[in-house]
Amino acid sequence: MELTLRNGIPINTRLLQNTDVQNLFNYVFSLSVETKSRFGPHLFNRETIEQICNNKDDVMRYVAIDESTANIVGYMLFKQGMIYWDDKRYAERNQYFNYSTTVTYAPSVADAFQSSGLGSVMYNEIEKELRTKGIKHIVLWGGVQATNERAVNFYKKFGYELYGSFWHDEKDNLDMVKELM
């Protein structure tokens, strides 16, 4: 998908490919400590990145490429269904989702591109695609840290609703879900 940010920077969004190992490694390595602390669906080491780029599983991994540099500047994961710990936590609150119509979502954006509109344009395009696949719910992967105001506001802007809160890793976290109509 060809996208243009507010500042005119052209971005190409596509699924991660097995040739993206070095580019994805460079991306996660360049994230600030704060950004890394807010994104945790997998480790940031070379071995994990190689496995991610070479394995086929039930996770759709989208990347945003800055066309002027060919660098990855955004990375969004959508897993079919829910991860075990999220499913367990929601079930404890009697909140259940259909595996085939639910995805779990984990986004990240390069520090230099945060607040550029990249997350919004990338998310909008991917959500359109999810709708065509019959997805009815998008659940945040591991929730969102309550102190991450920028992310919480992003999710609210896109219609995510609070489903509960939980304490993990010495932090208050929020479970948020978007129901697609």
CA angle (165 as vertex; 162, 167 as ends), nearest 5:
155
Encoded tokens for 73: 């500047």
Q: Measuring CA to CA, which residue among 83, 97, 88 is closest to residue 142?
A: 83
What is the topology classification, in CATH, of domain 2-179? Aminopeptidase (3.40.630)
Whether 139 and 82 have beta carbons less than 8 Å apart is answered as yes
pLDDT at 101: 97
Structure tokens at 83: 């991860």
Token duo for residue 122: 């990338």
pLDDT at 41: 79
pLDDT score, position 43: 78
Q: What is the pLDDT of residue 113?
A: 95
CB 103 within 8 A of CB 139: yes
Which residues of the chain are under the pLDDT cut of 50? none
The pLDDT of residue 56 is: 75
Predicted TM-score (pTM) of the model is 0.92
Q: Take residue 143 and report the two structure tokens written for it.
A: 């929730």
